[in-house]
Amino acid sequence: MLTVLRINMPQLGESVTEGTVSNWLVQVGDYVEKYDAIAEVMTDKVNAEVPSSYSGVIKELIAEEGETIEVGQLMCYIEAEGEENEQTSSAPAPESNDEASVEQNMKTRYSPVVMRLAGEHQIDLSTVTGSGKGGRITRKDIEKVIDSGQTSTVDNTEPMSTQEESTAEQEDLEEFTPPIIRRKTVQAKPGDREIPVTGLRRTIAQNMVRSKTEIPHAWMMIEVDVTNLVAYRNAEKDKFKENEGYNLSYFAFFLNAVAKALKKFPELNSCWAGDKIIQRNEINLSIAVAHGHELYVPVIKNVDEKSIKGIAKEIAQLSNKARTGTLTKDDMEDGTFTVNNTGSFGSVESMGVINYPQSAILQVESIVKRPVIIDDMFAARDMVNLCLSLDHRVLDGVICGAFMSHVKAILENISSETTPIY
């Protein structure tokens, strides 16, 4: 017996709540085997393939290319033999021999994104003309209505009691994922270039908004004398590159120092979880890797267990994956603390936005020659600023000051005796 079944957007990573369908790999009428890839989805800054949950024939593609849908939301229908799915009866595929029924079904099938935007802007969906298949209302249709400023409003809400309002506010605080809200309509002028917000840029924007909305940021900066580090690295870099085939970067030494400090001060290796603080056991450092106009944040796992050489090797591997577009979901997950090498762009002071849901991010600035007073005499020294952004719900100045002082002590005492490369 043939049964029409649903294929929904799967959970493609930790904390991932939605994905953008970048490319359908199948068409209506195609036969696919179970686990065959049916679509490419952009989520959490990487491309992932969505596998088919069944063997059968694709009956209808619901999500459009470029559309962002939430985890668990319907992507397509497939006709399979001898399969059972409890969702089928509650949301059957439209019958092909009843075009009017098909059109009406599609018009009233709203994605969570459409429902969210309509609710935020008080838009009556019955007044919106859909441009999707069968008249379905898409995100672009809602955004067009919002940008036009000609929204039709409807108010079906009833006043909440004081207790209900308090409960709702508490639930919002615990589960709120801030959307990108258009507080003022901005129109392009003649000669302006409009750049679509793609899955990658949208994910970055949403994460940054959530971080700044939910996390009370505080900042701290220290100055570190890394003259010994510069001399040590310069003496070893050529031989290292010849033997290993990749660079011995300053960044590897900074990551090593941070991992040691997190081992001593695990409070910074934590995250806020509503009614508790979760202190992570593993030290997995997220690092920012730029390629062109795109920014990726892959993760080096268990940094405290790796040598300088091991860290340098992973930096080289992840950077190469970013350049070639081969970063995987596993490369991007489970980071517990972020170290950002802003100094590679010539920056000397910056305040980073915390990588949600972590509790801190450290900016490593440019190493520059500065005049420093030593024993009442001026000396030219290699100096670097380290800038820490912290979640003030989890951390305070006392523990962060101790952490930064420990990182400073490690970096200022680097030598071949104290910090072996291998």
Position 91 scores a pLDDT of: 42
Question: What pLDDT is attached to residue 82?
Answer: 61
Return the closest-CA partner of residue 272 out of 351, 202, 358: 358
pLDDT of residue 206: 79
- How many angstroms separate the most distant Cα atoms in the chain? 92
| Rg for the chain, CA atoms, rounded | 26
Residue 217 known to be catalytic = no
Of the pLDDT bands very low, low, confident and very high (cuts 50, 70, 90), residue 169 is very low
The verdict on whether 392 is a catalytic residue reads: yes
Cα 76 to Cα 1, 24, 43, 131, 345, distances in angstroms: 20, 10, 18, 18, 44
List 172, 217, 392, 406, catalytic entry: 392
Q: What is the pLDDT of residues 242-266, one digit of tens each?
A: 999 999 999 999 999 999 999 999 9
Residue 56's identity, in one-letter code, is: G
Between 375 and 180, residue with greater pLDDT? 375
User: Per-residue pLDDT tens for 375-398?
Assistant: 889 999 999 999 999 999 999 999
The active-site residue, picked from 98, 147, 330, 396, is 396
DSSP one-letter string for 67-108: -EEETT-EEEEEEEES---TTTTTSPPPPTT-HHHHHHHHHT
> What percentage of the chain reaches a pLDDT higher than 70?
80
pLDDT band at 182 (very low <50, low <70, confident <90, very high): very low
C-alpha 256/C-alpha 337 separation (Å) is 13
Q: pLDDT of 18-46, one tens digit each?
A: 888 888 999 999 999 888 889 988 876 56
pLDDT per position as a tens digit, 324-344? 888 888 898 899 999 999 988
Find the mean pLDDT for residues 158-166. Answer: 46
- Residue ranges of domains in the chain, CATH in brackets: 2-148 (2.40.50.100), 162-202 (no CATH), 217-412 (3.30.559.10)
> Rounded to 5 degrees, what are φ and ψ at 209?
-65, -45
Report field, pTM of the whole predicted structure over 0.75: no
